[in-house]
Structure 1
Amino acid sequence: MSHKVILDEVNSQFRVHLEGDHYAIVKFEDKGDVYAITSTKVPEELQGKGYGKVMMEAVLPQIEQLGVKVEPVCSYVVHYLNRNAHWSHLKVE
């Protein structure tokens, strides 16, 4: 299933539609050619159901299309990128 991703540049965040009126939020600091992902949030009532992975698999292709790298600041993003080597090319050196 494809999840709609909205880039909200004004608030420096991605919103990922999960189900119903629930969205995951990925906040970042725009450093030009790098997005420092500072926090991620899945609604409390959807936690523990695999939506963290859904969120990352929806946002990372968008970041890749934008041609920017990821500086993982948020501990979940650090963990996710370490466990999913197919996204390692997006990590800033």
Structure 2
Amino acid sequence: MGRGMTKENHIEQNFINKLIEQKYTYRPDIRTRDALNQNFREKFQELNYVNLSDAEFSRLIEQIISADVFTAQYKKEPMQQLFPSKEAD
């Protein structure tokens, strides 16, 4: 078991190194799903100039997370319906 774990660690480290070479930033602080979601939420809000409530963020996650890219591509409800512009009010 120790040898297999070493091989897995080696593969993981090689993958991380390849991503770094491609200018990705390694974030050792993102080690859990909650940390990943929090980082995504912060970046999404910053890039879209919005502040999402917990309910809005949950809806966003439900709409964009799927088992495969093909399912995600054909979601029924467009993002504009999820987050209507304030001007429409």
Question: Which TM-score bucket, shorter chain as reference?
Answer: under 0.3
**Considering only CA atoms, is the larger Rg found in Structure 1 or Structure 2?**
2
The answer to which structure, 1 or 2, has the higher relative contact order (CA under 8 A, 6+ apart) is: 1
* Structure with the higher fraction of residues in helix conformation: 2
TM-score by length of 1: 0.24
